[in-house]
Amino acid sequence: MLFAACAAAPDREVRLRVLSYNVRHGLGTDRKLDLERVAGVIRAQEPDLVALQEIDVGCGRSGGVDQAAELGRLTGMHAEFTKFMDYDGGEYGLAILSRWPVVDRWSIALPRGKDEPRAALAVRTQPEGASVPLVFVSLHFDWKRDEGARLAQAGVLVDALASVVDPLIVAGDFNAQPGSKTMELIGESMEPVPKVGDPFTIPSTSPEREIDFVVVRPAVAFAGASRVIDEPLASDHRPVLAELVLR
| Residues 6 or more apart in contact with residue 37 via CB below 8 angstroms | 26, 28, 233, 234
Q: What is the dihedral of CA 40, 81, 64, 239, to 10 degrees?
A: -30
Residue 3, in any domain of the structure: no
Residue 6, in any domain of the structure: no
- For residue 43, the domain's CATH number is 3.60.10.10
- Determine the Cα–Cα distance for residues 123 and 168; give it in Å rounded to an integer: 10
Residues of the domain holding 237 = 14-246
Residue 1, in any domain of the structure: no
CA 234 to chain centre: 17
Dihedral sign (CA 179, 119, 14, 72): negative
- Determine the Cα–Cα distance for residues 127 and 170; give it in Å rounded to an integer: 16
Residue 2, in any domain of the structure: no
Other beta carbons less than 10 A from residue 163's beta carbon = 6
Q: For each of the chain's 247 residues, which pLDDT tens digit applies? A: 344 433 333 456 899 999 999 999 999 999 999 999 999 999 999 999 999 999 999 999 999 999 999 999 999 999 999 999 999 999 999 999 999 999 999 999 999 877 789 999 999 999 999 989 999 999 999 998 789 999 999 999 999 999 999 999 999 999 999 999 999 999 999 999 999 999 999 999 999 999 999 999 999 999 999 999 999 999 999 999 999 999 8
191 beta partners: 216
| Residues 6 or more apart in contact with residue 69 via CB below 8 angstroms | 57, 79, 81
- Determine the Cα–Cα distance for residues 194 and 21; give it in Å rounded to an integer: 17
- Determine the Cα–Cα distance for residues 17 and 7; give it in Å rounded to an integer: 24
Number of domains in the chain: 1
pTM given for the model: 0.93
CB 102 within 8 A of CB 80: yes
- Determine the Cα–Cα distance for residues 4 and 139; give it in Å rounded to an integer: 26
Residue 89, in any domain of the structure: yes
How far is the CA of 182 from the CAs of 2, 121, 128, 162, 178, in angstroms? 19, 19, 33, 17, 9
List, for residues 133-172, the tens digit of each pLDDT value: 999 999 999 998 789 999 999 999 999 999 999 999 999 9
Question: Which SS3 state, helix, strand or coil, does residue 123 take?
Answer: strand
Residue 9, in any domain of the structure: no
Residue 7, in any domain of the structure: no
List, for residues 8-32, the tens digit of each pLDDT value: 334 568 999 999 999 999 999 999 9
